[in-house]
Structure formats: C-alpha cells, structure tokens
Structure 1
Amino acid sequence: MKNLWNNIVSGFKSIKSWSDFASKANLTIEIIRRIILYIIAGALIMLSLAVGLGMGYVSSLTSQVDVPTKHEMKSELRDVNNSTSLYFANDQKVENLQKDLTGTSVPLSEMSPYLKKAIVSTEDSDFYRHKGVVPKSIFRAIISDVTGIGAQTGGSTLTQQTVKMQMLSSETTWKRKAVEIFLAMRVDKYFTKDEILQDYLNAATFGSNNKGQNIQGVQAAAKGLFGKNAADLNLAESAFIAGLPQSPSIYTPYSTDGKLKSDYSLGLKRKNVVLYRMYRDEQITESQYNSAKKFDLASDFQKPAKIKNKTIKYGYVYNLLTEQARTILIKRLAKADGLKYSVVKNDENLYDKYYEQADTELHNKNYRVDSTIDKNLYIAMNEQTQAYKSNLGTTHNSTATDPNTGKTIKVSEPVQNGSVLLDNKTGQVLSFVGGVNFKKSQTNHAFDTKRSPGSSIKPLITFGPAIENGLIGSQTMLADFKTKYKGYSPTDYGATIQNRFVSARETLEESYNIPSVNLYNYIRTQGVDSSKYMSNMGINLSQKEYGQLGITLGGTATGVTVLQQASAFSTFANKGEHVNPYVVSKITDPSGKTIYAHKKAKKHVFSKQTSYIIKNMLHGVVTKGTASAVSYESNFNTKNLFGKTGTSNDYRDNWFIASTDGVTLASWIGYDNFYSHNYNLGSNSTDLNQELWTKMANAVYSEDPGVMNVNKKFNKPYGVKSYKVDKETGTKTGTVGYNGVTTTVDQNTTNSLYYKGSPKQMSYSNFAIGGKAKNYKLFWDNYFGQSNGYAQVTTVGDNAKTSDELASENGSGRTSGFSNSTNSSDSSDVTTNTSTSTTNNTNNSTTTNGTSETGTGSGSGSGSGSGNSDSASAESTDTKVSDTADTVTTGTGATTTDKVSGGNSSEVVAE
C-alpha cells in the first residue's frame, strides 16, 4: 500500500499539463473504484458464506426436531391453566399436580379490545403483518447477543413468544432459538392471527394476584388485580396488564403473600409506556391517552385475600409419581441435548437446571402419567397399616433442635412401616405403604429409606450363590460353634451359640447366624463373587462391604430400600430371572403422544434349579421356622408360600419378605431416628411385623385373589437332583471309624437337593463347612452316647439370657438343640429307620418368629448397618396435610380370606 501511495504521489508530481492531470486522475479513480469493488465483493462473499453456514447450522439443529402436526400444535398451544394428571392403574385418577400458576382460559371475544390492542402495540407492533418471525429483528438480536452492543431485545414476535411458552423449554440456547423460529413459521401457517393472539393472552404470566398466587392469562390477571372479567377492563387497566409480561415480578403490585407493595410505581410507569405506544400506533386518541394516564389505578387494586385449601388424597402416591415422572423428563431433556443422565446427575448445577425445567413442565403442562399402582390394593394395604400401627411399638415424644431454624421443636417418632407388593413376572409395583402417617412424615419408607436388611439378605448373598456353584445341597451341614474371624465373633440370636452342626435348610428356617457366616466365608475362599449376583438383582454394594463377613447378616454401610429387597427376593419366584421394578408405565404429552413407555428389562441371575431349591428351603421358614405364625394366620393357601425374616442388631430393623407364584410382599418396620435419636424396636418386633404382613396379604387376597396365584405349585425343574443322605452329617450313608470300631451310620436319613455337585462320602470329619477337629470329636462322642454338651445352647456376654427367657419373649421360639424327630411334610422331610437314635439331644418345638437371627457379634465383620435415610421431603414446602394419613392439603395454585379349594394345589416339601 505504501508503494502504491508513493507511486500515486510521484505520478502527480510529474504532471506537466492538464491532459497529463486528467490521465493520471482517471487512472487513480479506476484503481480506487476497483479496490472498492473488490472489498464489496469480498464482503458479499463472506456474508453469503456466513448466511449459508448459519442456514446450514439452523437446518442441522431443526432437522432433529420432530415436525408436529397441526393437531399436536393446537393441543400444545391450547394447553394452558392445566397441569400433569396422575393415574393409578386401570385409568383411575389420583390427582392433578398442583400448578405453579393459576388461571382460566377465555376466548378472544371475552377480552377487552383495549387489552388486545395494548398487547400488540407493546409486544409486537408488526404482528398482523409478519409471517411469524421478523428477520431484521432476529438479525439485530443476534448481533446484539454476539457483540453485546445494543438492547437485549431478543427479537421475538408474539408468535415466537407463544411457541416458547407452550411448546418449548425455557432454556436459552441457539438450538432452542432455531427451533422456536421454525415452529413459529409453522404456527403462523396453520393458525390465524387472532387464534395465536388468544393463545398468547391465555398463556402469558402476569405476576402475582391479591392471594399471592402466580397468574397465568388475562382473565386471572383481571380478576386477581381488579376484581373484574377481562372483557370489562378499561383502557388504563388493560395497559397496566399488557405491561406486566416484560417483567412480571417487578411490575406486579402484589408481593408473594398477596399484600400490596409499598412501592409499585414501576408498574404505573410501565402502564404509561404501553399507553404511549398505543397512541403512537394510532390505536387510541390523544384524549384517551391523556385520560388513561391520569386514571387512579391504586384505588382499583384488590385487597389481599386468603387461598382456599384443596385436599389431595393419596399423598405418598402423589409424591412418588411426581418424583419419578420428573426424573423421566430430566433424562428426556438431557438426551435431547446430547447429554447422558449420568453426566447430568453428577453435575449439581446441570442437574438443577434440568430439574427446574422438568418440574415446570409437569406443573404447568397437561401431561398424563400412568402408573402400575392398583388403587384398590393400595387402599386395602394402607387400611391394614392404619388399623395396626398402634401395635407396632412405642411412639417416642421428645424435643429437638431444628437444623434449619435453630429453634427447639417437639418431635414425635412412631414405629414406621414401609411395604411393597410386587408382581414377580412384570416387575410392576402393584401397591405399597409409604409410612404410618403422611401428615407427620412424608418420607417414603418403601422407596427412599435405606436400612440394614438383616438376615433377609442371606438367601440372596450367600445361599443362592452357594447352591448355584454346587458348593452345598439343602442338607449340607454348617458349623454353629463358637468361632472368631480376625476379631469378628458372630453369635446367633440373643448372643447364643447352638454348639452343633446345622443343615443349610435349618439355618435358613431358623435364621442362624454363625452357620451363615461360615458359609459366606467358605464360598469366598472358593472364588464365588456374590457381588455379581447382587448387582444383577438391583443391589449394589461396595467391595469393602462384600469383604466383611457380617454382610451376610445384613451388615451394610448404607442399607437397602424395601423396593430393592422385594425386587431381589422376587428373583427366586421368577425362576432366577430378575425383572426391574417400576411404577410409571407410560407418560403422554399434551397432544396425546406417548413420550415414555416402560420397557421390560430382565437379567438372568440364578438357574431355575437353584431358584427351586431356595424356594423349597424357604418354604420351611413359613411352616416351621421363624415365620411359622404366618401359616396359621393367613386366610389363603400357604402351601406354595416361601419367605425370609430379618432383624438387624438391637432390633433396629425388622423385615419379613415372602412370595407366592404371583407376587412378592415385603414389609419393614423400624424408627426413623431423626435428630440423632437411637430408638429400637421391642423384642417382639418380629411377631408384630409378621402379623402386619399377614393382615396386608389377607387384604390383598380378599381384594384380588388372582393376583397372588397362591395355588400355583413350584414344580421341580429338570436338573434338580435329590440324594438320600444321613440327617446328622448331610453326607451319603456309610461307615465311620470311632475308637477303633467301624460303624454304619444310616439310622436317620433325609433327602438333600442339589443343582450341581453331590453329597460327600461318609467320613469322621470334613463333612461340615466351618467345622473344626474339636467340633467333630464333640459330635461323634455325643452320637455314640456321651452326654458332653453337644447341641446345648450357650450364651455369651454380660446380658446373656436363659433358654426359657428367650422362649418367653419370642413366643414358642426355638433356642437350642437339634431334633431327630420325624418332621411334617411341610419342611425338611425326614425318613427314619426302625432303629432308634443313640443321641441324647433335646427335641425342640418350632418357633413363631424370626428373633433367632439378630446379627450380633464383635469385631470388624459385624456391622449393624442400619443406614437410616433422613431424606424426608414434601413435594412442596407450602404443602399442608389433613389429619387423614396419606392425604395432603395444599393451596390451589400455590407455588410450591378363606382357604382356597379346588385347582392343582399341592404342598411344597423337601424331598
């Protein structure tokens, strides 16, 4: 450029005549003209490239958008003053979600003409001339957004604003803006201007009313501000309302409690701006303009009023479905933005963003959420809980410090119940009990509270994997003697030790701890990883937890929910297949389009052979074991029922879970222990929980006998092998050497079920898992006639109780010994030879409860793992509840059985 300039200067210096000058000037002008043309051409090329890239970008964004039909757009545009509706199964309504906004839709003909003119003049003066968008406004908004120069107008027409409010989320991204433009042009094509204006005026927000509610639509605004219908608004009132949408919270004259603000001058100034724009657009005369400016609006504003409360029944269902539907929408929104839910969940800010979007949509758009909850079964189970709750234990009343306010408050803690009724084959949650009093605690104890599962985890984590891998049969012997593993010394219930060998079957029936710990330790040494079975059943624990022997007694760090435990347990009823549990079956958007439908997901966990053997063993729990009371208290056929009890240390938690072919019903009771309290259940808690379980099961059966399918027999599948074994050793019958004499051991036999492997040969030692040399000597000495303390229960610790005391507090609880008696066909079928036994042992009665299972012990392996969850929260902080349990009252629009005969009934028995 410098050389070019120097040449031009030198050229002019060399001018000697006017002709020379003209020639030089023409050349210079031509050069400059060409330079300008090149610049313009370059600019046009760059602009074309930018426009092309922009159009390509917009096209790429909108190409992923499902093009809505006219019907779908109409449904969404008209979807105002509605909220999500929640449903039980079978099309029975629960309730509509309480809206964040209050309002009523009215047609355009029932709105003041001043109001329509005011909105158009203020928000979009070209409304009746454009095709849904104004390109120059969009371009200006883009330049302003990129450079930061100029007003942040947004460039949105009334059509775009309507689309944004009714058809899109509130996020501010280029993608959303591109979709907004695309949809606005489509809306303008299919609908008239008056239809679009009507939709806008019914959907827009207008601040707060005199009750402190958020207003949606001009009819609600007219009523809430001036106490009149939208059709009756005068010019000044219309202008005031038309000015609100730009910044409703600033311009509204009312605070969130419904009181008039001390200063609402900004709203009045905004009203004058609207009037000027109407005058400028020749929508009103100068006289009307001046008169409306002087109009005293302050005297027109409504006095504060109170909100009428509305009662919502089924509070636990209401909260549960809202929470689950919100999560589904969060996942959907994140996926639409190309994000994985796991990423969103791990980013607090990102999660809060999507949470707010999903929550807003649910509370302000007409979605429909269909659930699996059977209304009649839900009512039946909860009625039983309400009738029985006072029997569950002491309600503790105390004072505590509120962590939010620091004030001293009164606290009442009753025994809580969480229960789940699950369809084994589909995974549908048919019913549940969230708690004993929704008014006092909205914590859902079935879905949200994590507690120690106690011994109810034994079949899942220990016995199932052991049978699956051929390490035991149903009659394999396990040692129940005093033992210690690196400082961990487990005991049975009441700090007792049985001092004998116990079969795997009886271990589960009576829920003994020491044999279970010995077995868990053994399968770990054999390379069996219980974690893969547990995770496939929906329970994920840490490797540290799996490394502690107390885990087989329920010693978890955080615990499990009732839903998780019920779902995992149902795997056995479902022949080893675990089906993911679910509550929401379908979600439909305002246009009637299904945006979510549950997809059944299942995993193979155990073989059907293992599942059958476990069911066969656990049937004894409800016929002669720790839950035998269930059999005679049930009003239905229990010949095909199997279950497991569970109690954590110090009676902190109590469980009973049982399955038929059709369903699994799990019940947990315990205290929340909020505010650092340390309340435990009574020693009779197992009896109480089983009685509650039975009452709920009877109610379910009475309401719908078919759902339980109690007469369906668990047929033995091919591959389950039955071996005749010696009852005392669990081995094949044979000879054993004792004090130099070889003796045949075959007096008492039973059948042991195996999936893989087979019983061991008869031997003096090594027939029992966890057995030591001194244990075998004690056993054989006793077997051959010595009275040496074998099978006599001992207690350890300072607070040891006698057998009579234990039996007294636990009903007819088994506390000692082992039996050679012929058992009933209900469980542990035993064949006894004609000769009598030479053992000197006590014949024991059956127990009616599960209190022989508390996971006591000392050392690193014990771990009660109560895992209380303090995550109780209401759906809204403004929510009130009535005195009826499971019923919530909220301000409208506030932010915030006989035996079954016939059929193929047959009893599940050991073979």
Structure 2
Amino acid sequence: MTKKKSKAQILKRREKKTERGVAFTLLKWTLVFFCGSGIIAAAGLSGLYFYISRDLPKIISLKDYTPPIVTSVFSDDGRKIGEFYNERRIVIPLSEMPDNLKNAVVAAEDSRFREHPGIDLLSIFRAFVKNLKAGAIVQGGSTITQQVTKSFFLTPARTYERKLKEAILAYRIDQTFTKDEILYLYLNQIYLGHGAYGVEAASENYFGKHAREMNLAECSLLAGLPQAPSRYSPFRNPELARQRQIYVLNRMKADGYITNLEATDAINTVLDIKPRKNWFIERVPCYTEHVRRYVEEKYGRDVLYTQGLKIYTAVNIELQKIARQEVVKGVRELDRRQGYRGVVKHLAGLEVEAFCAQVATTMDVDSVEPGVVYQAVVTAVNDREAVVRVGNVTGVIPAEDITWARHPDVEKAYWADKVDSPKKVFDTGDVVLVKAVSPGEKKALRFTLEQTPLVEAALLSIEAETGQVKAMIGGRDYLDSQFNRAIQSRRQPGSAFKPVIFAAALDKGYTPATVIIDSPVVFKDHTRNFVWKPHNYKEKFYGPTLMREALIKSRNVVTVKILQDIGIDYVINYARKLGVTAKINRDLSISLGSSGMSLVELVNVYSVFSNLGYRIDPVFITRIEDRFGKVIESSELKREKIMDMTTAYMMTSMLESVVKSGTGWRVKALDRPAAGKTGTTNNLHDAWFMGYTPRYTTGVWVGFDNERSLGNGETGSRAASPIWLGYMKGALEGRPVRTFNVPEGIVFVKIDAKTGLLPSGASQETLFECFKDGTAPTMKTPEPGIATDTDDLYKFGI
C-alpha cells in the first residue's frame, strides 16, 4: 500500500515537474518576446527620435535673442515722432513686466508652467479627453515652452511630425533655460493683435502706457489675448474681451495669485481703451518720411524695419506745429482770394433727410467739434445768413463770413468785388463745406464757409549756427499728398536767386554803392532766331540805380547787366559753392531765377549770408544708434568758409533793406533784425520768401503743382512772406532779440543816395553805406555845372 502511494506520488511529482517546465518555458519565451519587443520598440523609438531630431535647430540660438524690433525716431528733445517696423515689437526685460501680468499669463495659458519639464502630459491627456467628448478640437495641451518652440523654430502646420519636434525642443529648452528666461522669451515674442508683438507694444496699443504701468485689470485683459488675439480684441469685440478677462481673473484666483476682492475690483475697473495714436501722421510726417528714405537708402530696408534703430533728429515739435499752422493759414487765405469754386453738390427735397442721417451716423455724435470741417446742407437762405444743417445740428453762416465767395477770376484776384448776400452764393439744398467757430446770436451755432485749397506750400527752417533743420513742411496736407515740396520739388526761384548774383558781384569788386543804369537792353540769339528783352515787374526803367536800391526794388534789368558783366560761368560756380546742386542753365535768364531748384538748396544759400560766409550743410539726423545703443552715425558740425565775411555781411545789410523798405516790407512786423528776399516767377507760377534772423534761416514757397498762375498780384510778398512772418513770430516768441554781427574789415561811410559818391553841396539825400575796407568812394558828387566823366560815376553807361 505504501509502495503504491509512493509510485502515485512520484507520478504526481513528475506531472507537476512537467507542468512547471512548460510554465517556465512559456514564461521564458514570454519574457524573450517582451524583451525583444521592447528592444525593437526602443530601437524604433530611438530611430524615430534620431529621425525627427536630425535637423532640429540649435536651441542655443535663444541665448542671443535678437528678434525683429521697432525702429524709433525722436525729435530734438527726445520725444518719439515715428516708428518703422515689420513686426511692432519692443523688447523689455522681465523686471519691467508687472507680477500681475506674468501671473495672469501663466494662469491663463499654462497653470503648471513652473512644475512640468516643458511638456505637460497631464494637460495633454485632459485636452485629449475633452476633445474626444466634443468630437472636435476645443482645447489644446501646449505649454508656454511649446509655444516658444513653435514661435521661434517651427511652422504652425498641424502634423504629427511637427508636434513631436515641438515636444523634443520644448524639453530641451526647459533643460537649458530657467523658467524666467522662457517666460521672458514668450512675453516678448507673442502676437497680441493689431500689429503688436510682445507685451510692451500691446500695452502701448491698447492702453497708451508702458507695460510696467499696467494695473491688474489691464494685465488680465492682455493675458487673455494670446489664445485668439483677433477674437478677443477689445477694439473689435469688447464684450468677448471682457468675458475672457473675467476667465483669466478667475484662473488667477483659483491658483492663489489674487484674492476674491482683488478679482472683483479688477472686474469692476473701467478701462480706457483707445486706438494707439499714429505719431507718424500726427506730429511730423513729412520730416519723418524724409528720414526714412535716407536711412533705407544708406543702411537697407532690413536694417530699418527689423533692427530696432534709434534715430535722433533735429526737428523741434513746437516749431513744426507753428510751421504747419502758418502754412495752412497762408494757403487758406490765398485760396479765398481766388474766389469760391462752388458747392459740393445739390440735393433735391427728398434727399436732404437721408443725407443728414448719413452725416449724423458718420459723426457718431449729436454735436460738432470746433475747427473740424463738415459737409452741411443749406436749409434756408436770405440776405443776412444761410441756415445750414450738419447731421442733426443746425447753425448759420452770416453774410459777413461769405464776402470772399465771389466767382473765381484769376485775372481780377484779390481786388475783385466782394459778395454782400448769401443768396448770391447758395440755394436751398446745396451741400457745402463748413467749420464751426462759435455760438452766434441767440446762442445759435455759427459756421464759416470752407473749401479745400488747391494751392500748395512748403516751408523749411534751419538753425543758423548748427545747420539743424528745425521744421519742414512739404505740403498743405500730408494725407492728401506725400510729395515733399521742400526737398523733392524743383521750381524756378525767380528773384529769390538774385542775392547769389549780387554776392558774386561783391566779390568781383562791386559795392552796395555801385551805380548801374536801369535802361532797356536787347539780347539776340541768331542761332535760335530768338530776341530777349528783359523788363522790370512794372514795365518801367529807372535810370542810374545804386546796387543796394536794385536789390531792394528787385530790378530785373540791373541784375541781368550785372550777370553779363561778371560772367555766367563765374556765377554758376559761385552758386555751386553756396550749395546749389540743381542744374543751372548757362544763359542770362538765370539772373531772373529761370533754373529750377529746391527749397532746401535756397535755404542753404541764405544760411551762408547768415553765418558770415560759412556753409553748414543742413542736418536732419543728429545721431543713429543700433539696438544695443552703439552709435553708428552722428552729425558733426562742419563749417566750410566759402565767402569772405565782409561780403556776407554786406549781403545781409542789403537784404535787411529789402525788409525795411523793399518788397519784403511785410516782414517789418516781426519787429526784430531780419533780412530776406522775395521771389516771383513769370506768370506768377511761384511765390517765394527767403529770409533769416541771427537765429533761424527760413524759406517759404507757394504755388500749384500743375504750375498754373497764382493770380494777379500774388507775388512772393503777398503770398509767401505772410507765412514766413507768422512762423518766425511763433519761433522767436519769448526769445531775446539778437542783432547781426559786423565783422572786421567793414567800414561805414556817408554817401550820396543818388550817385553813390561822397556827399557834396549838390547832394539832396545821404545815407550810411557799408564797404569793405579800402573800397569806399573817394570822389565827391559833382557840383552842378561842373563837367565830369560819367564813366567815373556809373558801372554801365547809358
């Protein structure tokens, strides 16, 4: 019995052993399978990793973070006047970003940012579940680090390969950089809508302040934008932006960054969100555009628009404002002297209400702003006033405000008959341009009749001692035309060129007391069968004329004779030394300013007289720095002596007389020492006034772009000098009065005002004249009845 049991037990043990062997074998091969699979999977993953990462960029490039940033332009006192960029980004350190902003962004975009290693598997799983339930992609799992990766190194393409690359790079970045360094990159790089890249540019865009100045409400609004800048734009969708802001504040509260009370206060804070001002248009657009063209031409477009230059200019914002006001005022007054060109259009009775409703919608308010031009409908008219309606606002145009509105007649110009009744100008239903000025009788709103001037004007003003261009106006309205008539235009200067010839003559032995005969002269060109008979403005000839008097009265014939005497080539070379670069015709007509040149060239010429013979080229840019503050260009004061100081002073003395008793008489109202010259071309196409004080040299041009006549009587004196006067009054207001310095080598001698010789008993009028030492007259004016050789008296005989 015992033996049988033993055999059974032995068999049983054998069966168990066999079972264990089979199990062991199965386990062994299972382990082999899984190990092999693991090895294969690992090899596959390794292969995939090496395949994906074979061409990944080097993240070390983030250490040298130099993204495209804004190039800024500044005025002479450091105020920003313009920006140039492809991406409007202003990079600031993390220390200049408020903690509320950093916390808000982390709470809204990546709450576990400081815990995960660049990839948040928990967030990815949570997003996967939500997207699965929704049947669409409603939530992403990208971390801030992954967004940095995508922004700097990858395309936004939605592919598995790109996502794998993104994960690898995000992990590498997290291992290489601190969390603060990653946040710094993110907050400066992200797009936040309306052209703003980075939080500093966005803060300026939406709130008009630096990022460091933002409060909690503003920080939370900004932090809500990265997810969908266009959708949550506070400009376009303020309600959606507010909802997103509340979401961010709740996330901040949940993460312990703020208290419930702070969140409530931020939600209740009213934000002043206004579109960012366009400095380029509002301040000095013409000047800034000139600077832009120069920098782009010299350094290239990429440097200008991406490298964050700081360009410091010579422009003075206050002087620029004065210049713009006076140019607008001057062309408006000239335009009114030319008459009224008529109404905008006429409406039938049924069209009036619809038109007014449309204007009211455009205005977006039920009131008008003084100084702004509106379209209005004439609703009633009588001999005393015209009743007009702007949207839902009603006012009147009194009869005294439309006296200028005669029918345009260039030939009659400013002395044409005035209009004495609105009924001669308007009919009920006419659409006209008006501007609100003040309440009238019985507190009715008073309007003035307006029209858009067609005439253009330019002004350029240089600080005499430095050559810095303090103001430049290239046209009546930059929004209408970006053509810079101060720099790019070439127009005939007319008599404004005469001082070049007179200065050249002084260096050829002439004096202000030299007598030239103003008499008819004829020039014949047989090769072209052409006859030229120069004449004076009023078609008169004045006989013996002192050189000073010839400049004061702008005598054409005398100037032609001086040019003929000293030589055309000599004058052309002289003009080149003074700074004229434009082509100058080689004929006697240049004495009357027949060769076109720019306003800046003429201002440069006159500045030589002001600087006692030294030429200082105009300076627009004082310094340019790169993004790191290194100076790459700076202006240096270079004074080149090209004229004797005595010659320059005598020109100033004669040009002072032009202001005191000549064609520049309007400028006497400046009540300061001033020198200048008017210029008027044939057929009154161009009007100029070029003048200077000891502080500023300023030039003004007025004319039509199509070179038609300005109208009878519209000379440089009438059309241009009032603009110059208004500008200089504003520019010099509150400044001490300066006088022109008299250099060594100048002597003052009393002379006969008619003969230019020393006075005698026959002299009826005398004056003190300035001469270069050794050139004063030694001969007395002949007594009556005493014979004398006229060649001793006159430079040119009759």
Structure 2 equivalent of residue 23 of structure 1: none
1:642 pairs with one of 659, 663, 675? 675
- Aligned equivalent of 1:589, options 613, 626, 640: 626
CA distance in 2, matches of 1:718, 1:511: 29
Which consecutive residues of structure 2, in runs of 5 or more, have no partner in the other structure? 1-59, 93-100, 111-118, 120-141, 155-164, 203-220, 230-235, 237-273, 343-450, 525-529, 780-787
1:77 alignment partner, one of 41, 60, 65? 65
- Is residue 73–residue 311 contact of structure 2 (8 Å, CA) maintained in 1? yes
Structure 1 equivalent of residue 319 of structure 2: 377
- Would the alpha carbon gap of residues 395 and 765 (structure 1) be closer, same or farther in structure 2, given more than 3 Å must change? same
Residue 210 (structure 1) shift: 9.4
Match of 2:708 in 1: 678
Looking at structure 2, the residues matched to 483 and 492 of structure 1 have their Cα atoms a distance apart, in angstroms, of 9
Q: Structure 1 residue 589: deviation in Å?
A: 2.0
Q: Which has the higher contact order (CA 8 A, sep 6+)?
A: 1
Tell me: CA distance 1:122–1:86, structure 2 relative to 1, closer, same or farther (3 Å).
closer
What is the aligned length? 501
CA spacing shift, 1:493–1:437, aligned 2, 3 Å:
farther
Which residue identity is paired with 2:628?
S
Distance 1:84 1:459 in 2: 42
Aligned match for 2:721, one of 674, 690, 693: 690
Q: How does 1:57-76 map to 2 (within 5 A)?
A: none
Residue 36 of structure 1 corresponds to none
Partner of 1:520: 563
| Contact 2:458 2:472 survives alignment (8 Å) | yes
The 3 A distance-change label for structure 1 pair 374 and 745 is: same
The amino acid that maps onto 1:514 is V
Alignment match, 1:357: 302
Secondary structure of the residue aligned to 1:705 is coil
Residue of structure 2 in register with 1:386 after alignment: 328
State the alpha-carbon separation in 1 of the partners of residues 186 and 74 from structure 2. 30
Partner of 1:164: none
Q: CA deviation at 1:617?
A: 1.3
Pairing partner for 2:523 from 477, 485, 488: 485
The one of 653, 657, 662 equivalent to 1:616 is 653
Match of 1:272 in 2: none
Q: Distance in 2 between matches of 1:125 and 1:439?
A: 40
2:474 to 412, 428, 434: 434
Q: Given the alignment, which residue of 310, 314, 318 partners 2:285?
A: 318
Q: Which residue of 2 aligns with 1:763?
A: 789
Share of identical aligned residues, percent? 19
Deviations 1:820-843 (CA, angstroms, capped at 9, x unpaired): xxxxxxxxxxxxxxxxxxxxxxxx
User: Secondary structure, in 3 states, of the residue corresponding to 2:618?
Assistant: coil
Aligned-partner Cα distance in 2 for 1:652–1:125:
60
1:451 matched to which residue of 2? 491
Contact 2:286/2:474 (8 A) holds in 1: no
Distance between the aligned counterparts of 1:124 and 1:753, measured in 2?
73
1:737 corresponds to which residue?
A: none
Deviation at 1:574, TM superposition (A): 0.6
Pick from 74, 77, 86 the counterpart of residue 90 of structure 1. Answer: 77
Tell me, yes or no, if the aligned pair for 1:396 and 1:413 is still in contact at 8 Å.
no
Q: 1:100 to 1:443 in 2, by over 3 A?
A: farther
User: 1:452, 1:653 within 8 Å by CA — same for their partners in 2?
Assistant: yes
Deviation sequence 1:117-137 (CA, Å, 0-9, x none): 7689989999xxxxxxxxxxx
Residue aligning to 1:498: 541
C-alpha spacing 1:662/1:323, structure 2 compared with 1 (3 Å): closer
Q: Does 1:705 align with 2:735?
A: yes
1:627 maps onto 2:664 in alignment: yes
SS of the aligned residue for 1:448 comes to coil
Q: Which amino acid aligns with 1:705?
A: R
The structural deviation recorded for 1:115 is: 5.9
**Cα shift at 1:377:** 2.0
2:714 counterpart of 1:714: no
Q: 1:309 to 1:730 in 2, by over 3 A?
A: same
Cα displacement (A) at 1:86: 2.1
Provide, for residues 233-265 of structure 1, a one-character-per-residue CA deviation record: whole Å limited to 9, x for no partner.
99xx9xxx9xxxxxxxxxxxxxxxx9xxxxxxx
Equivalent-residue separation in structure 1 for 2:329 and 2:84 (angstroms): 29
Measured after TM superposition, the shift of residue 751 of structure 1 is 5.5
Equivalent position SS for 2:512: coil
Deviation at 1:509, TM superposition (A): 0.1
Aligned to 2:705, the other structure's residue is in SS state coil
Task: Name the CA distance, whole Å, in 1 between partners of 2:225 and 2:284.
Answer: 42
- Say whether the 8 Å CA contact 1:475–1:751 is kept in structure 2: no
Going from structure 1 to structure 2, the CA distance change for 1:118 and 1:412 (only over 3 Å counts) comes to same
Structure-1 separation of matches of 2:480 and 2:662: 36
Structure 1 position 592, deviation (Å): 2.0
Do 1:490 and 1:514's aligned partners in 2 also have CA atoms closer than 8 Å? no
Q: How far 1:538 moved relative to its partner?
A: 1.9
TM-score by structure 1 length? Answer: 0.48
Alpha-carbon separation, structure 1, partners of 2:771 and 2:80: 49
Decide which structure has the larger Cα Rg and report it.
Answer: 2
Kindly tell me: are residues 319 and 416 of structure 1, through their superposed partners in 2, closer, same or farther at Cα, counting changes over 3 Å? closer
1:308: how far off? 6.2
Structure 1's unaligned 5+ residue stretches are: 1-69, 127-156, 162-187, 221-227, 242-257, 259-306, 334-353, 399-410, 735-743, 776-911
User: What is the rounded CA distance, in whole Å, between the counterparts of 2:65 and 2:709 in structure 1?
Assistant: 54
Task: Please say if residues 563 and 571 of structure 2, whose CA atoms lie closer than 8 Å, have aligned partners that are also in contact.
Answer: no
SS across alignment from 1:550? helix
With over 3 angstroms needed to count, the CA separation of the structure-2 counterparts of 1:599 and 1:490, relative to structure 1, is farther
The question of whether the paired residues in 1 share the 8 Å contact of 2:488 and 2:598 is answered with: no
CA distance in 1, matches of 2:72, 2:151: 33
Residue in structure 2 matching 1:507, options 533, 536, 550: 550
1:474 to 512, 523, 526: 512
The answer to whether the aligner puts 1:559 opposite 2:602 as a matched pair is no
| Maintained 8 Å contact 1:531/1:540 | no
Secondary structure, aligned partner of 2:688: strand
Give me the whole-angstrom Cα distance separating, in 2, the residues matched to 1:654 and 1:232.
55
Q: Taking structure 2 as the reference length, what is the TM-score of the superposition?
A: 0.54
Describe the shift of the 1:201–1:120 C-alpha distance in structure 2 as closer, same or farther (beyond 3 A).
closer
Shift, 1:109, TM fit: 6.2
* Residue 457 (structure 1) shift: 1.0
1:549 maps to which residue? 588
Q: Distance in 1 between matches of 2:88 and 2:578?
A: 42
